[in-house]
Amino acid sequence: MIDPRILRDEPDRIRASQAKRGASADVVDRALAADAARRAAIAGFEEKRAAQKAFGKQVAQAAGEEKQALLAQVKTLSGEVKELEATQGVAEEEWLSALKAIPNVVAEETPAGGEDDFVVIEEVGTPRDFAAEGFEPRDHIEIGRILGAIDLERGAKVSGSRFYFLTGVGAQLEFALVNMAMDQARNAGFTQVIAPSLVRRSAMEGTGYLDQGGGDDVYRLEGEEMYLVGTSEVAMAAYHSEEILDGGSLPLRYAAFSPCFRKEAGSHGKDTKGIIRVHWFDKVEMFIYTTLEDAAAEHQRLLAWEKEFLEKLDLAYRVVDIAAGDLGSSAIRKFDCEAWIPTQGKYRELTSTSNCTDFQTRRLDTRVRNGDKIGPVATLNGTLTAITRTIVAILETHQQADGSVRVPKALQPYLGGLDVLEPVKA
């Protein structure tokens, strides 16, 4: 959640952020009213509690009928104090609820608008001209069949739509990409992590993933307050919950592998074929704890690591600055790296990186100690590789006329030296 001081001291800044997101500013007025009610409730309780204590001293000094009269007043005051304490508790809950309803305040640099209002920062590499090479590119579904790498039919038979099996070189590609990503992360100073895919409700709420749409895109275990994560960001944000970090240890950088699960509830009819938009995929996610002052610079570093990985795969891609209305509630700014997908004739998201400042850590009660001072800590996340979409980009970009696929040089050591993925024999 946001710093309450911003609400009290700069409410117009939050209103401007809401306007950028294309969202109502009513949440600001509701939170301000809840804050005023909370403060009034606290003052009323403390005033009555002080009176109760004063009467207690008088009772101790009184005797006879005077004492009995004072005791009667103390009893009345005690009831009033209990009522005011209950009122204060309700006011506190309403205040916290109103504060949590406010998304993070977007960065000044973040473009205004919705999904289509992103700004292209740069384009890297040139998409292949298959017409000039004399053949029509196959989509990843056909290449996956030729290579014996992707089995969609049996995926649907076993688990339903938007599921799949990676087989043969498809499975090898996954392990190769994960290992290459983990090696890059470790060499950059990240601690490698295998993160749980099931988390408690507190982790989901703390990261903001239940804020929008009530978690419509999230799988929940029936009868349990446990959720399947759509990204290991959730587990890693909760990793240091209710802890005070040593300021000298920052930044803390983690590279976490986990399976990820998404209902894709708002995506019916989109990318229903193939493995671009699926219910389950594996991912290596970078996650960082740092100071508020260093968060923006760390965000640029995350983007640079994502670009480095894509360039190792010889992919043409672009970097886009996501508009405010397309941000999650936790982020103040997000960059996506989108790879060119030849058969679709457009760029598609492969990675993203978000700066969440102290929005998640305030909810999860993670702070940092510097000397005698305890203060807020920022979190950032960035995808190093989302396996299925990366496989799509590799297969389509590096295919050859005979159905084989050239292996990028940087990936070859992770595939036992293979430089070409050959079609399987019928």
Residue ranges covered by each domain of the chain: 4-100, 119-421
Q: Across residues 103-115, what is the average pLDDT?
A: 96
Alpha-carbon gap, residue 137 to 154, rounded angstroms: 25
Instruction: Based on the residue annotation, tell me whether 267 is a catalytic residue of this protein.
Output: no
Closest CA to 411 of 169, 113, 149: 169
pLDDT the model gives residue 270: 77
Instruction: Based on the residue annotation, tell me whether 8 is a catalytic residue of this protein.
Output: no
For tokens 């209990």, what's the residue?
A: 82
Instruction: Based on the residue annotation, tell me whether 301 is a catalytic residue of this protein.
Output: no
Alpha-carbon gap, residue 51 to 70, rounded angstroms: 12
Task: Name the helix (H) or strand (E) containing 321.
Answer: strand 317-321
> Which of 15, 128, 277, 318 is an active site residue?
277
The DSSP secondary structure of 342-383, one letter per residue, reads TTTTEEEEEEEEEE-TTHHHHHHTEEEEETTEEEE-EEEEEE
The DSSP secondary structure of 196-262, one letter per residue, reads -SEEEHHHHHHHTTTTSGGGTTSEE-TTSSEEE-SSTHHHHHHHTTTEEEEGGGPSEEEEEEEEEE-
The DSSP secondary structure of 401-413, one letter per residue, reads TTS-EEPPGGGGG
259 pLDDT more than 80: yes
341 pLDDT more than 60: yes
Alpha-carbon gap, residue 292 to 332, rounded angstroms: 12
> Mean pLDDT of all residues in the chain?
92
Residues 284-294: tens digit of each pLDDT = 999 999 999 99
Reported CATH class of domain 4-100: mainly alpha
> Which of 142, 311, 349, 422 is an active site residue?
349
Task: Name the helix (H) or strand (E) containing 154.
Answer: helix 152-159
β-strand partners of 390:
none
pLDDT the model gives residue 57: 60
Instruction: Based on the residue annotation, tell me whether 349 is a catalytic residue of this protein.
Output: yes
pLDDT the model gives residue 56: 62
> Which of 262, 333, 362, 363 is an active site residue?
262
User: Is 119-421 assigned to CATH 3.30.930.10?
Assistant: yes
Instruction: Based on the residue annotation, tell me whether 277 is a catalytic residue of this protein.
Output: yes
Residues 142-184: tens digit of each pLDDT = 999 999 999 999 999 999 999 999 999 999 999 999 999 999 9
